[in-house]
Structure 1
């Protein structure tokens, strides 16, 4: 009998607690306290829906190598331009200067920039080239690479020894294709064919047999070209 009374008391206590919790929850919104709707006037309320966007990064994903093949000493002395053969070279990308990541070493024919920082952001891509140095004799010669085959709307189409040129801007890329939205897209193209190399005439007296390599430095900067130069 005592056990039955205890069970009954516990049940009553639990029911009372539940009713109190419901009452407290219901008391949070007082009945009839809202906006009244009448025959002449509808009731309206405004609430908020929300989401957040995390900004992405501005990145240089890939940059091309250029192989201008093998030519004769006679053609070099004549000053003939060397035509691009492919993008396979004996060396590899040297990206040890980049502590925050590396470019795609397999995509040797691709120039690619990604910008997902959001609308209203701009960028400028420039490039300059060292002298071509003979791997064996260490003799050097300057030159100019004229880029061909790109559909990116390049601002400049030459990469020169010891001279920096603004090759591409986000604005120019956007003008070339509607899919290249500034701050919200990946701009990419292949430079697999059509480029040429013209060596500096004054340096031809230094030419010797062997393989010549030059380092091309690609610099991706945040901002419009004129602002980057001014800064």
Structure 2
């Protein structure tokens, strides 16, 4: 009888232990779900934000009547008494030498900037002949990849001549993704290699000479 008593007691303990295990815990599986994070980037515009005025100082008339003259860029402040820049036509040039293109379209479509130099004239109508070379090593872009056509490579505009490509950004199909996107600034100021070349003129007249520079931004490479 004693042996039977122990066997019965053991069975009762095992039964009791089984009753204490939470229902379903032994057979539970991992439960995974997925959600999404989203942000929308709104496209902007492409703009020519800044163009510089260019002042090449002063020379004695004897210099140009005797020979060709090369004048380094002196500063970016232009007299507003004409003949081109005056009280009724202040133009768009700034006095800190900044040339800035901002491309916020987010399309990688590329762009092109051209410049054209008008006649270099004084108030009496007398003109000068020559050219202007635009060049600077001070170029800062949000995307450092550059087309070979940019302000670090000198481009020469003839006085009274046609438009010349100054800066290009390649489209995605032909260049680096995002080339030219964001802010792109070149500084054309004293210390750059921007030079005005004037041809010898034995009949030159004294006076203040000015020429308009027309900058044109296209929304695709030329």
Q: TM-score range by the shorter chain?
A: 0.5 to 0.7
Kept in 1: contact 2:117–2:213 (CA 8 A): yes
Which residue of structure 2 lines up, in the alignment, with residue 164 of structure 1?
Answer: 163
Which residue of structure 1 lines up, in the alignment, with residue 185 of structure 2?
Answer: 188
Kept in 1: contact 2:51–2:94 (CA 8 A): no
1:213 pairs with 2:210: yes
Alignment of 1:32-71 (within 5 A): 42-71=30-59
Instruction: Tell me: CA distance 1:42–1:130, structure 2 relative to 1, closer, same or farther (3 Å).
Output: same
Larger Rg: 2
1:80 pairs with 2:69: yes
User: 4+ residue stretches of structure 1 with deviation over 6 A?
Assistant: 38-41, 93-96
Higher-helix-fraction structure: 1
1:197 pairs with 2:196: yes
Q: TM-score, normalised by structure 1?
A: 0.63
- Deviations, residues 151-185 of structure 1 (Å, cap 9, x unaligned): 334355222222211011124xxxxxx9xx53531
Instruction: Tell me: CA distance 1:108–1:126, structure 2 relative to 1, closer, same or farther (3 Å).
Output: same
| RMSD of Structure 2 on Structure 1 (CA) | 3.2
Q: Mind listing any 5+ residue stretches in structure 2 that lack a counterpart?
A: 1-25, 140-149, 171-175
Please state whether the residue corresponding to 1:111 is helix, strand or coil: strand
Which residue of structure 2 lines up, in the alignment, with residue 146 of structure 1?
Answer: 133
Higher relative contact order (CA 8 A, sep 6+): 2
1:90 pairs with 2:88: no
Alignment of 1:92-131 (within 5 A): 92=85, 106-131=94-119
Shift of the alpha carbon at 1:106? 4.3
